[in-house]
Amino acid sequence: MSFRDANVVIIETGRTYIRAGLGLHELLKTPSVEFQARVGLRRNASGEHLNSVQQPINPANNFEKKDQGSSSRVSSLPQHHEPNASVNDYLVGSALDDALAAGQDVSISWPFADGDVRDWTQAEVIWKYVLFNQLQRRRIQNESPVLLSLFPGLSRNTYERACQIFFERFNAAGLAILERPVAQIYAANSINGVVVDIDEEKTDIAAIYDGLVLHSTRTTIPLGTRDCQNYLAHILKSNHSLIATLSPPENPLAPEVLHSMLLELVRQLWTDGQIKVPSDGETALVEDEGVTDIAAIVVAGKEKAVIESGMKKKANAKASAAEQARAREVEALDLLTVQFREHSLTLGKERHRLCEPLFDPTLLGGLPGTPPVSNALRPLPLQEAINIVISQTGVDYRQSLWAGLFVTGDLTRHVKGIGVALQSRVAPFIVAPDLQTEVQPRYARILSVPEYYPEYRDTGNGLACFLGSSITAKIIFNDNGGKNFVSKADYAARGPHSIIEMTPALL
């Protein structure tokens, strides 16, 4: 059987974000639903969790909190297990945001933060919110098949449980499950490569060959956007003019308040696209510490000239050589004025150092907000982790893998140049480029979402999972003889196990 494109639902399940959309169009659309992958339970003054009618939830008998162990895949994002909580007791999406904004006491849980499903009731809450609240599906007459993207390497029991929820709780018309890295590499118009997925506090690295994840080589390093933001906030503390504006000497802020404010500024900068990543051949360093002396420029009366350097360069096209040289010097400072809260702030080239910890985690050592780690447990730089992943694959695979490096994650939606910076840093791992054989890697090539997806031209690679899922859904749900999804008839005949038979990655 096949389905109408207008009824197909795409749900991207990430560690910290959920994205979803309804319908497959001629020009594939970006997700219409996007929110943080978290749920909440209200608490009373005694710390007890409350249900939907504001009564304490009875604790489970002999319930022991799960031991989450120690692993690079275990997240520090909070998780509160409440076995007797029902789906209707949880806050999610806009209701949770409103409760937090109102200052209510709410315990937050992130059910997908470990790259698995920590709590099935909480997972159901999120998926139910997507289908029936955001996409306005009707359970009684649900004609929508769902393509669900999940993390790679999950157990068969996890697939079966998800299948059971979507058919028995949501009455889905069909279900297909796709591993996130596969969806991401499909978005880059490839079936071979290494997907580097940068999330809030983790980066997942997966090698893919012929459209299948090589699970034995997959790895996760405890580095992410949060580390980058914390590092740049620390760097900005060396900008004396900036700090004097935010925390004037006559009324200084507490250190933790100032750091929180700088983190907010950093997030504003990268989400506004004001940060790029220099390649290894370039540098973001200015003077000794990579911080422009803003105060000196202001005192010298050059601030206006610096800020308007781009315009001035054009105006000076016919000016003298000395004036042109001065314009180039001013432009090299790369100053930027931004509005932050009630302040007008001038920042220099140091803002482009945001992603340095990804390539050199030793920079995080001793920074406030970064937990101390021993040298033995220190995260590997991104380029070294990728090299290890590829070196663990078969020799025949490596050339294709090095030619398909794909960097994705929310950070890449706004910060340009991460892929180019990575390409220059992995170059030393291409062994003996002058001694070529049929299987010898010749170069490292960076993939990106093609330009012929017009809706995705301004999103970098950050929405690759949703795009790849949409491409896959368009194929499998329109294939009359296809066996890559579970229909209602399949589920009625074989139950949750039917998802195992209909998922190529599990065969």
HSE-CB for 20 with a 13 A CA cutoff:
29
Please give the pLDDT value at position 453: 94
Which pLDDT value is given to residue 307? 56
Tell me the pLDDT tens digit for each residue of 210-255: 999 999 999 999 999 999 999 999 999 999 999 999 999 999 999 9
Average pLDDT over residues 425-439: 76
For the segment 358-362, the average pLDDT, to the nearest whole number, is 94
> Dihedral, CA atoms, 456, 457, 459, 464, nearest 10 degrees?
50
- Mean pLDDT computed over 416-436: 84
Answer yes or no: is pLDDT of 67 > 50: no
CA atoms within 13 A on the CB side of 149: 30
Query: Which among 104, 182, 102, 106 has a CA at the least distance from the CA of 148?
Result: 182
**293-326 pLDDT per residue, tens:** 555 555 445 555 555 655 555 555 556 777 766 6
pLDDT in tens, 122-134: 999 999 999 999 9
Neighbouring-strand partners of residue 145: 174
Res 165: pLDDT: 97
146: amino acid identity, one letter: V
CA gap 298, 29 in Å, rounded: 46
* Side-chain half-sphere CA neighbours of 233 within 13 A: 26
Beta strands 343-347 and 174-179, pairing class? unpaired
Structure tokens at 280: 């290894």
Q: What is the DSSP letter of 412?
A: G
**pLDDT > 70? residue 98:** yes
Residue % of the chain over a pLDDT of 90:
68
Average pLDDT over residues 389-415: 95
pLDDT-derived band at 392, boundaries 50, 70, 90? very high
**pLDDT in the model for residue 71:** 52
Please list, in sequence order, all residues whose beta carbon lies within 8 angstroms of the beta carbon of residue 238, skipping any fewer than 6 positions away. Answer: 289, 291, 350
Q: For residues 326 and 494, what is the distance between their CA atoms, to the nearest angstrom?
A: 75
| DSSP secondary structure string for all residues of 457-487 | TTSTTTTHHHHHHHHHHHHHTT-TT--SSEE
Predicted local distance difference test score (pLDDT) of residue 57: 87
CA distance 352 to 273: 11
Residue 405 confidence (pLDDT) above 90: yes
Comparing 51-65, 129-143, 257-271, 358-372, the range with the smallest average pLDDT is 51-65
Phi, psi angles (nearest 5°) of residue 67: -85, 115
| CB-based contact 179:468 (threshold 8 Å) | no
Least confident piece of the model among 31-40, 256-265, 275-284, 352-361: 275-284
Separation between Cα atoms, residue 405 and residue 434, nearest integer Å: 22
Classify each residue of 189-224 as buried b or exposed e, where b means 16 or more C-beta atoms within 10 Å of its C-beta: ebebbbbbbbbbbbbbbbbbbeebbbeebbbbbbbb
Residue 505: band (very low, low, confident or very high) from pLDDT cuts 50, 70, 90: confident
Question: Within 10 Å of residue 240's Cβ, how many Cβ atoms?
Answer: 13
**Which residue from 30, 5, 28, 7 is spatially nearest to 19, judged by alpha carbons?**
30
Residue matched to tokens 């999804």: 485
Of 356, 454, 444, the closest CA to residue 406 belongs to 444
Q: Which residues contact 496 (CB under 8 A, 6 or more apart)?
A: 160, 161, 163, 164, 167
- Beta partners for residue 206, in sequence order: 195
CA gap 314, 175 in Å, rounded: 57
CA 174, 179, 185, 189: dihedral to nearest 10 degrees? -20
**Nearest residue to 284 (alpha-carbon basis) of 356, 236, 380:** 356
Of the ranges 255-259, 295-299, 344-348, 369-373, which one carries the lowest mean pLDDT score?
Answer: 295-299
What is the arithmetic mean of pLDDT over 347-353?
Answer: 91
pLDDT at 292 exceeding the cut of 80: no
Alpha-carbon gap, residue 151 to 215, rounded angstroms: 11
Q: Where are the beta strands (DSSP E) in 295-420?
A: 336-340, 343-347, 405-409
In the chain the domains, ranked by start, together with CATH numbers, are: 5-188+454-506 (3.30.420.40), 193-223+379-429 (3.30.420.40), 225-361 (no CATH)
Rounded to an integer, what is the distance from CA 342 to the centroid of its chain?
Answer: 30
Identify residue 132 by its one-letter amino acid code. F
- Percent of the chain whose predicted confidence (pLDDT) is above 70: 82
Give the mean model confidence (pLDDT) for residues 136-150: 94
Supply the pLDDT for residue 478. 87
Q: Above 90 in pLDDT, residue 179?
A: yes
Q: Considering only 82-86, 201-205, 224-228, 363-367, which range has the smallest mean pLDDT?
A: 363-367
Q: What is the pLDDT of residue 253?
A: 92
Q: Is 258 exposed, middle or buried (0-12, 13-18, 19+ CB in 10 A)?
A: middle
pLDDT digits (tens, 9 = 90+) for 461-496: 999 999 999 999 999 998 767 688 999 999 999 999
Q: What is the pLDDT of residue 73?
A: 63
Checking if the pLDDT of 208 tops 50, the result is yes
pLDDT above 50 (res 283) = no
Indicate the pLDDT class of residue 64, thresholds 50, 70 and 90: very low
Residue 377 has pLDDT above 60, yes or no: yes
Model's pTM, two decimal places? 0.87
